Structure 1
Amino acid sequence: MAGSSNAIRGARVGSGPMGEQDHGVRAERVQVSYWDALGNETIRYFSADVADEEIPDQIDSPTSGLPAGRNKDEPPQLVKNEPYKTHLAYVKERRTEEEAVELLEEALQKLRARRGRK
């Protein structure tokens, strides 16, 4: 048994004859480069059949996590998120201090009227 050889040892199943160069026809594709604010380039490949307007103008850079655009000289900047606002913060944006005092006084008068006080 030591002298027997196995012709497929070390070969992928379905790989075909050894030395096969053509593993199928490769579709035509276009290379698109994206740059982030740190200067990192990311290359994406798209089918040549895809219209240019369907190729995204911006992606997330896998290197830095920053947005990356197709213009090397003007990469997109990270948009700052607004901090979470409480309900009170939104109310304060809509009302002046005088309006708040007036509304509070009206609410207290209604509450006192329900409870039988003046």
Structure 2
Amino acid sequence: MVHPASGFRGTRAGVTAGSGSSLQSGEDHGAPLPRIKVSYWCAKGHETQPVFLKLPEDQIPVVWDCRRCGAPATRDGHAEAAADALDDGYKSHLEYVKERRSGQDAEDVLAGALEKLRARGILSDELLRDT
């Protein structure tokens, strides 16, 4: 439940406290700030294009995380800079699972799951041979 004296009621993104303008007044809030799309490439060749406010060149980040693989991506597309940063300890979920389980553990878990399905009558050997 929202407290009746909450300062956030009736506000929207972009409205600041003390702006002196009302949302219902119909006043022009000005033109939107100019934005630019910047391309970054990771060592695997994935392109990421975040949108920034139009800032001076030195204020735009040099490295950005790839949205597909999480690896660092650079603006100039040189894989060397991104490859150097890959040693920061980033691991996928599958890599963590492989650290905890061996191949034999995986086979044991699969065999147990198949046995439970067979016991419940959901899975038969004919289905396994057809696939």
Question: Given the two structures, how large is their TM-score scaled by the length of structure 1?
Answer: 0.42
Question: Given the two structures, how large is their TM-score scaled by the length of structure 2?
Answer: 0.38
